[in-house]
Amino acid sequence: MDLPEEYKKGFKDFLGIKIDLSKRPLIPRPETEYWVGWFINQNHKKGMKCLDLFSGSGCVGVAILKNIKGSICHFGEIDDSFLEQIKINCSDIDSDRYKIIKTDIFSGIDEKYDYILANPPYVAKNRISEVGKDVLEYEPHIALFSGDDGMEIINKFISEVKNYLNDGGYAIMEFDPQQKDKIKEGEFYKDQFGEYRFVIIKK
């Protein structure tokens, strides 16, 4: 089984930004790139503040910081080596524009945001046979799996997310298209492949 090309190279291009992958976080996916690009092209108030949760490499927040002038972004991640990875990927960004927080979903987060962008682990353990062998062997399981049906972390996130949003703000969350009917709240959007892939939950 070959090491994925992105780990061999040590980086992945994400919306034109070179995202360092030296700590082996989840390799950024084109579906994620799609909705982050969509978000960047919306109208945002000046000085908007967002949270990139389940951040991994930090690709989502870094893309926002580099594409939305004056934006502020906090990164939330539980894995220590990925916290280091985010630091590497923010090395050329002004330190007053970002903060890196060690958090398990919302633990240790004590402020509110205009936007929360989340790419939680959502692969169902009972669908492990459908996951590519190279993904299983090399990519971090903490970033992939979430209980037998893949909904464990999603359900917790949805039940708490409004407590961390400013009025009029919203959260974007990526999910597996097969989970759409289990998510009881929000507006659903399709990715570039015509699959329901992200949901917007408004405060």
Token pair for residue 138? Answer: 């090399």
Tens-place pLDDT, residues 137-160: 866 777 677 777 778 899 999 999
Confidence of residue 127 (pLDDT cuts 50, 70, 90): confident
Higher-pLDDT residue of 148 and 40 is: 40
Closest among 9, 6, 10, 35 to 20, alpha carbons compared:
10
On whether the CB atoms of residues 14 and 33 are closer than 8 A, the answer is: yes
Tens-place pLDDT, residues 87-123: 999 999 999 999 999 999 999 999 999 999 999 976 7
Total domains, the chain: 1
Mean pLDDT of the 68-76 span: 97
Token pair for residue 103? Answer: 């958090």
How many residues make up the chain in this entry? 203
The SS3 call for residue 112 is coil
Whole-model pTM?
0.93
| Residue-number span of the structural domain to which 119 is assigned | 5-202
What is the distance of C-alpha 155 from the center of its chain?
A: 16
Does residue 136 have a pLDDT over 90? no
Angle at 140 between CA 101 and CA 115, to 5 degrees: 40
Give 90's DSSP letter: T
| CATH number for 58 | 3.40.50.150
